[in-house]
Amino acid sequence: MIGNLFQFGMKAVSDLWEDEEGLGTLELVLIAAVLIIVAIFFKDWILEFLGNLMDSVEGKAEDVFEE
């Protein structure tokens, strides 16, 4: 059962790869998958970076409005 499903998936990917129209779709799917994997891998770092960035922006905004 799993072998048949795997073969079906491989055939679908192969058909997309050989088809000119499917090639663009496959590229977009692969790029999206890589971006999602990178985002998951660096999730903590990204959240910390965005938090620091927002704190910095908030502090600078308070300085501007105090003057």
How many structural domains compose the chain? 1
Structural domain boundaries enclosing 37: 2-66
Contact 43, 34 (CB under 8 A): no
pTM (2 d.p.):
0.47
pLDDT of residue 1: 61
Burial class from Cβ neighbours inside 10 Å (0-12, 13-18, 19+) for residue 26 reads middle
Length of the chain: 67
- List, in sequence order, every beta strand (DSSP E) within 1-67: none
Question: Residue with structure tokens 């998951």?
Answer: 40
pLDDT in tens, the chain (67 residues): 666 776 777 787 777 666 666 667 778 888 999 999 999 999 999 999 999 999 888 877 777 777 6
What pLDDT score does 42 carry? 94
